[in-house]
Amino acid sequence: MQTSLTLLPFKTPLIFPIHHHNPISPKPLPSSPQPYQHHTFSQKQTQTHASPVNSFKGSGYISTISQAIKEEEEYRRARAEVLRKGLDLEGISIEGLSVGGHETCVIIPDFKCAFDIGRCPSRAIQQSFVFITHAHLDHIGGLPMYVASRGLYNLKPPTVFVPPCIKDDVEKLFEIHRSMGQVELNLDLVALDVGETYEMRNNLVVRAFKTQHVIPSQGYVIYSVRKKLKMKYINMKGRQIEKLKKSGVEITNTILSPEVAFTGDTTSDYMLDPHNADALRAKVLITEATFLDEGISIEQARQHGHTHLFEIIEHAQWIRNKAVVLTHFSSRYSIEDIRQAVSKLQSKVSAKVVPLTEGFKSMYS
């Protein structure tokens, strides 16, 4: 099921307020033309009239106009945020939506994958891989629909990764849907444990890392794979290297470069785990920031297994990513609240900080 955000028409601020309680009636036309009357004014009389510019300034209209211009600019920025359907960071396209407690599905089209499936937005159906972080419905609820939709469009059965502790229950879930709907639901269900690596294609692998939520959870790092000639062969000629290669000698080292890390729902503790260093040095880190202000304390956020923005700011020294995408904000926040909060983190890190705001409303909408 795909959700959509309705945009209400914008009402232009009134620069000159209209007062309806005291309407001005038009003057009646004279019955006959009146002769032109020539008037002369003394110097004293002309000095008693303020100039039009001074009258305009004194009336407060200038400040009213400035405020209206400011509000319209805010509206345009907010509307752009609402309409924007994706991000492009470090050469990686990122789409999807993540609203705390409602739906999370973050899509990386370049890698043909989605992190969590939410309610199965239509854009996710084309992705061949789905990485499930945990079993809460706002992250896994659309999984049967995702698999069924790929079958409907004659797409290859997808590969779905889950924490090992929920694999049996996910299999039971699909058996129930097969029985109820009398349909085939074909997928490759992979239990990927923390620290394990799976080859998605010859130049791309994924590895799970540990996170901390109120139920079992894990994040994922996707790595690009490249081969680099070993140092001891660096000065050899091409024919010599080719000869070694044909003889079965391994002449290269495999280099894994973390491209994208996705945390799912978690406390900030993952940032302090040395085993998760790759998540904090990937080109792009996609992490949750459910709560943004003093309305919810850090302790309350931790009790619910979530991260407070203040904790990310506190641990900012460990962030080595080129870009950070903040997700999973509480629905209590508007786009303007989110943008203001993001600026607080941006001042603490060299990485570009961007919020995923699709699905959120603007105070101007």
Tens of pLDDT along the chain (365 residues)? 444 444 444 443 433 333 444 443 444 444 444 444 444 444 444 444 444 545 545 556 677 777 777 777 666 665 555 455 689 999 999 999 999 999 999 999 999 999 999 999 999 999 999 999 999 999 999 999 999 999 999 999 999 999 999 999 999 999 999 999 999 999 999 999 999 999 999 999 999 999 999 999 999 999 999 988 788 778 778 887 787 778 887 877 889 999 999 999 999 999 999 999 999 999 999 999 999 999 999 999 999 999 999 999 999 999 999 999 999 999 999 999 999 999 999 999 999 999 999 999 988 86
In a domain, 28, yes or no: no
In a domain, 130, yes or no: yes
Range of the domain at 132: 93-355
In a domain, 162, yes or no: yes
- Could you count the other beta carbons within 10 Å of the beta carbon of residue 196? 13
User: pTM of the prediction?
Assistant: 0.75
In a domain, 19, yes or no: no
What is the number of structural domains in the chain?
1
In a domain, 274, yes or no: yes
In a domain, 363, yes or no: no
Q: Pairing state of beta strands 197-201 and 188-191?
A: unpaired
In a domain, 58, yes or no: no
Rounded-to-integer distance, Cα 221 and Cα 209, Å: 7
> What CATH number does the domain containing 280 carry?
3.60.15.10
